[in-house]
Structure 1
Amino acid sequence: MKKRGVLNAQLSACIAALGHKDMFMIGDAGMPIPPGVEVVDLAVCQGVPTFRQVMDAVLEEAAVEGCYLADEIRENNPELHDYIQKKLGSIEYEYMPHEALKELSGRARFAIRTGEFTPYPNVILRAGVVF
């Protein structure tokens, strides 16, 4: 039995399979996931688990060099936007309209569905390397 880190077998395998520049998404309970993108559905009920809980756990295991966010998060969810910036630090950020983010999500290796119910808590992360 795994002792720490991401215990969800599907999510752990998805993270382990990431290669440099692969994209993956962490999204809210209502974010549409395009056909063909593997869904790791962690949502239990409203607010469980939160976006922050999932992102904290994922970032303990995945190297990230860039992210894509909806322009709308800055105005409609500034608290979560600040959290993302603090958590990810000085990586490369790219902002785009929410509709464009939904379109880009079709290129993700997998998408993690959380129980988050706040506006625009969706991020596409680009895997980095640890060396």
Structure 2
Amino acid sequence: MKKSALINSELSYLVSTLGHTDEVTICDAGLPIPEETLRIDLALTLGVPSFLQTVKVYLSEAQIEGVLLAEEFKRVSPAAHDALMDLIDAEAKATHKPISVTYVSHEEFKVRTQDSKAVVRTGECTPYANVIFQSGVVF
């Protein structure tokens, strides 16, 4: 049995197959997911698992170098946004690597999810609690 925090087989496989600059979206329960994009649906019920729980576990396994967020996230859901930014800052410090943060409109964000290798759906119900992570390298 796998020893690290991430035991979901689909998500673990996804992380192990990422290349430099590949993108993965982690989203709330309501974000539309393009038909052609791999969907890893973790949602059980409203709020379970949460967006932040899922992000924490993802960051425990994946090296990231960039983050894409909707501009609306920090304005409409500032507490969730700030909690995510705390996780991003902690990850940058822990890995000693900078992580760029870019904001786009929510409409542009939804279009950009089409470029993701996969979209991971959580049970989160906080508006705009969505992030696109760009894969980095560990060396």
Give TM class, smaller chain: over 0.9
Amino acid at match of 1:104: R
Query: 2:118: which partner in 1?
Result: 110
Match of 1:123 among 125, 131, 134: 131
Distance 1:77 1:70 in 2: 11
Query: 1:93: which partner in 2?
Result: 101
**Following TM superposition, by how much is the alpha carbon of 1:80 offset from its aligned partner in structure 2, in angstroms?**
1.1
Distance 2:16 2:5 in 1: 12
Distance 1:130 1:88 in 2: 16
**Following TM superposition, by how much is the alpha carbon of 1:5 offset from its aligned partner in structure 2, in angstroms?**
1.8
Distance 1:55 1:67 in 2: 12
For structure 2, list consecutive stretches of 5 or more residues without a partner in the other structure: 90-97
Q: Report the TM-score when normalising by structure 2.
A: 0.91
Mapped pair 1:8 → 2:35: no
RMSD of Structure 2 on Structure 1 (CA): 0.9
Query: 1:70: which partner in 2?
Result: 70
Instruction: Report % sequence identity.
Output: 42
**Following TM superposition, by how much is the alpha carbon of 1:126 offset from its aligned partner in structure 2, in angstroms?**
0.2
Query: 2:56: which partner in 1?
Result: 56
For structure 1, list consecutive stretches of 5 or more residues without a partner in the other structure: none
